């Protein structure tokens, strides 16, 4: 760090809740991030679909907004994708990786459905593809399974990975609200999308456990492999029965290894489970996420925190951006 | 990965409980580790003080043992130090870093007291110095504060970082044992050293919070900076008072930032604290460790698991070895 480093150019695709939070923090934490990376981070542009829409981006120059993502990507060291959806995100990230950029994304459906292909391309081009924010926001489980536990043999993963359904189930369990009232309340508070199918049917949780399973065991796992059951078929009768025995119903995503460590077979499931009241997963409150990872050597490790929200998700994205930028600096020498 | 990679030479310094577990797993998980690294790991030798002492190293060729650590270091890509103590560990790791080896250590007193100097040397020689196992065994808090949260602003860290004292306090709180009886029982079960001062006076926890604070904020923090109070002065009266109000006494290590994120001042403390019964730290049982990290964007993140033991500590060491070996492979291209 004895000579001044030229800036790392960071291109942002998407300026929704998470994108806006990432852009704001890139400015607000500029000196801090520069000291951690060893070079300044320069936001080279923000690609949006509709340039005329008003944005909540205090401190971010309006001239950075563009509706031409390809131009941004071609000049970037690090491409950060926060648009969501499969296309055009998939095409744009393929272009970024082929051009030799480091890629960071929070796009869980993209990584669940096309992650294996994108990871193979990243490996071929010797660049990083990081997606910590795609699972449990800032709860750092992706890095943990890919790096911290890379010397261990992970045997199973169980998690509460969808904050919306946990909020509903927690209101029923702890406040005695009826299931229907709890769903209405979650909708009013913005915990459910206008179309809540992805949450209630376990599709969101399924994408996240598919991502974790592939990251943990390095084998192909597809959305269709998930034995999936949501919470929409539950009734107050189920909740009364659980309560009567001191249990709590949670929507639990699980992945476990059969076969050998060297030649693993992986099974994945998302379903409502009745848990003992003092189970670490049962203690997950409101919109929180909890993940338990069991390994041959480390035993059971537990992780918990906010599973969604603009700022927590931005924290995970920025952690990946710092890692990507450090790789760019290391590659310059 | 299209061409065969020559092996990564791993030198092990120390063959105690953790060293033996690391050596065994390097053999048992050889193919798995090779696939994760992209090159085979070759244990090039194990340095021990006394060659005549019998070792529990099934599957490990006896010819690998040596009492000449310098020779091992000079031919190694990755040096793993599991001897403990300040010297000769400090001198040997200095030699390893100066020679351009990646270094992994589980030595908490060394990293707490001389970590800043060793990290500066590692940065100068552009090699890695990793020490996940020095704090909370396989609970991956060091990597989390150095990498996952590198884009965030950590405001405080609180943790139960000493399993031995937690075991004692948990027996008093949950089984109603007297403080004296609980100490005796912990000694019988091997949870306390022959000289239990390091645990009971909070010196072990102090070293760990010093390491976390420096990793989180990148500022010099010394053992002398810790406001430290152990549990040896507690009496049954303290425990009865806590119990009467539904509280639990725990030995809590804390670090918090004052000043600004760019120019942080850090304060560190270890002391017995009376906590509400449902506090995440209060729920730590037996020899477990729990760490809560609060940041500006992510909110409170919680981590828990076994805080000690040969296998959990080996898991953390091997995670660092894989990361170090991946750097060696990346540097070859």
Q: In whole numbers, what is the pLDDT of chain A averaged over residues?
A: 95
Chain A residue with the nearest C-alpha to that of B279: A283
pLDDT value of residue B332:
86
In order of start, what are the domains of chain B with their CATH numbers?
8-137+312-332 (3.40.50.720), 142-307 (3.30.360.10)
**Beta-carbon separation of A147 and B148 below 8 A:** no
Cβ–Cβ below 8 Å for A262 and B35? yes
**pLDDT(B1) > 50:** no
Compute the CA torsion angle A94, A100, A102, A108 (nearest 10 deg): 10
Among the ranges given (A79-88, A191-200, B91-100), the one the predictor scored with the smallest mean pLDDT: A191-200
pLDDT score at B2: 47
Burial class (CB in 10 A: 0-12, 13-18, 19+), B263: exposed
Q: What value does the mean pLDDT of chain B take? A: 95
- Given A25, A149, A302, which is nearest B304 (Cβ)? A302
Name the least confident of A41-55, A107-121, A188-202: A188-202
Give the total residue count for chain B.
333
What confidence tens digit (pLDDT) does each residue in B20-71 have? 999 999 999 999 999 999 999 999 999 999 999 888 888 889 899 999 999 9
On whether any CB of chain A is under 8 Å from the CB of B29, the answer is yes
Mean pLDDT of B184-206: 90
E-assigned strands of chain B? 8-13, 41-47, 65-66, 78-81, 102-105, 129-130, 154-160, 226-228, 247-259, 264-276, 288-295, 299-306
* pLDDT on residue B247: 97
More reliable by pLDDT, B55 or B107: B107
Sign (positive or negative) of CA dihedral A100, A135, A89, A227:
positive
Q: How far A305 CA lies from chain B's nearest CA (Å)?
A: 5
Write down the residue that tokens 């536990």 correspond to: A149
Check if the beta carbon of residue A286 is closer than 8 Å to that of residue A307: no
Instruction: Give the torsion through C-alpha atoms of B119, B124, B125, B131, to 10 deg.
Output: 10
Enumerate the residues of chain A whose CB falls inside 8 A of the CB of residue B303.
301-303
Q: Is the pLDDT of residue A253 over 60?
A: yes
What is the spatial distance between Cα B101 and Cα B118, in angstroms, rounded to a whole number?
Answer: 13
**Residue A229 in tokens:** 């059951």
DSSP readout, B66-91? ES-HHHHHHT-SEEEE---SSTTHHH
Neighbour order of strands in the sheet with B8-13 = B65-66, B41-47, B8-13, B78-81, B102-105, B129-130
What length is written for chain A? 333
Closest residue in chain A to residue B309, using alpha carbons only = A298
Residue B65 in contact with residue B39, Cβ under 8 Å? no
The answer to whether B152 contacts A315, with C-beta atoms less than 8 Å apart, is yes
The pLDDT score that the predictor gives to residue A1 is: 44
Query: Is residue A194 scored above 90 in pLDDT?
Result: no
**Residue (of A91, A87, A94, A96) closest to A12 by Cα position:** A96
| Cβ neighbours of A36 in B, within 8 Å | 150, 218
Interface of A with B in 153-182 (CB under 8 A): 153
Cα dihedral A317, A322, A324, A328 sign: positive
Q: A279 — contact with chain B (CB < 8 Å)?
A: no
Q: Is the pLDDT of residue B199 over 50?
A: yes
Instruction: Clarify whether B265 is annotated catalytic.
Output: no
Q: Is A15 annotated among the ligand-binding residues? A: yes
pLDDT band at B143 (very low <50, low <70, confident <90, very high): very high
Q: In chain A, which among 40-79 make CB contacts under 8 A with chain B?
A: none
A 10 A CB-CB count for A68 gives: 9
Residue A21 to chain B, least CA–CA distance (Å): 9
Instruction: Name the pairing type of β-strands A226-228 and A154-160.
Output: unpaired
Look at residue B3 in the predicted model and tell me its pLDDT.
58
Q: Does A140 touch chain B (CB under 8 A)?
A: yes
Residues of A with Cβ-Cβ distance to B29 under 8 angstroms? 151, 153, 261
Active site residues of A: 208
Alpha carbon distance B242, B117 (integer Å): 42
How buried is A115 (Cβ within 10 angstroms: 0-12 exposed, 13-18 middle, 19+ buried)?
buried
Q: Is A302's CB within 8 Å of B302's CB?
A: yes
Mean pLDDT of B85-99: 98
Residue of A nearest to B18 (CA): A297
Mean pLDDT of B285-289: 95
Distance from CA of B150 to the nearest CA of A (A): 5
pLDDT in tens, A268-319: 999 999 999 999 999 999 999 999 999 999 999 999 999 999 999 999 999 9
The rounded distance, in Å, linking the Cα atoms of A124 and A97 is: 9
- With beta carbons under 8 A apart, name residues in chain B contacting A144: 140, 143-144
Chain A positions touching B123 (Cβ under 8 A) are 1
Out of B138, B139, B299, name the one closest to residue A305 (CB): B299
B321 touches A: beta carbon within 8 Å: yes
Q: How distant is the Cα of B1 from the closest Cα of chain A, in angstroms?
A: 9
Q: Quote the ipTM score.
A: 0.96
Contacts of A235 (CB under 8 A, 6+ apart): A179
Q: A96 — phi, psi (to 5°)?
A: -65, -50
């Amino acid at each position: 760090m004895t000579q001044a480093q030229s800036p790392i150019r960071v291109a942002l695709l998407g300026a929704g809740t998470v994108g806006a939070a990432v852009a704001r923090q890139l400015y607000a934490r500029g000196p801090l991030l520069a000291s951690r990376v060893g070079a300044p981070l320069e936001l080279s542009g923000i690609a949006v679909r509709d340039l005329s829409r008003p944005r909540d981006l205090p401190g971010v120059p309006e001239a950075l907004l563009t509706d031409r993502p390809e131009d941004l990507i071609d000049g970037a060291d690090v491409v950060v994708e926060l648009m969501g959806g499969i296309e055009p995100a998939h095409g744009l990230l393929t272009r970024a990786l082929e051009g030799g950029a480091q890629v960071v994304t929070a796009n869980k459906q993209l990584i669940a459905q096309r992650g294996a292909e994108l990871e193979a391309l990243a490996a071929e081009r010797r660049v990083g593809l990081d997606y910590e924010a795609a699972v449990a926001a800032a709860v750092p489980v992706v890095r943990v399974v890919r790096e911290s536990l890379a010397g261990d043999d992970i045997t199973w993963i169980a998690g509460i990975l969808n904050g919306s359904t946990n909020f509903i189930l927690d209101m029923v369990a702890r406040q005695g609200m009826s299931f229907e009232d709890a769903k209405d309340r979650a909708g009013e508070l913005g915990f459910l999308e206008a179309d809540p199918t992805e949450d209630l049917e376990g599709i969101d949780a399924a994408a996240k456990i598919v991502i974790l399973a592939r990251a943990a065991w390095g084998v192909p796992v597809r959305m269709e492999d998930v034995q999936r059951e949501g919470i929409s078929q539950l009734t107050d009768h189920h909740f009364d029965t659980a309560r009567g025995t001191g249990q709590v119903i949670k929507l639990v995503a699980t992945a476990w290894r059969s076969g050998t460590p060297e030649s693993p077979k992986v099974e994945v499931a998302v379903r409502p489970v009745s848990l003992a009241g003092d189970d670490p997963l049962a203690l997950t409150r409101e919109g929180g996420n909890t993940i338990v990872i069991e390994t041959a050597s480390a035993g059971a490790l537990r992780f918990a925190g906010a599973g969604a929200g603009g700022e927590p998700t931005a924290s995970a994205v920025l952690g990946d951006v710092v890692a990507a930028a450090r790789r760019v600096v290391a590659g310059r020498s």
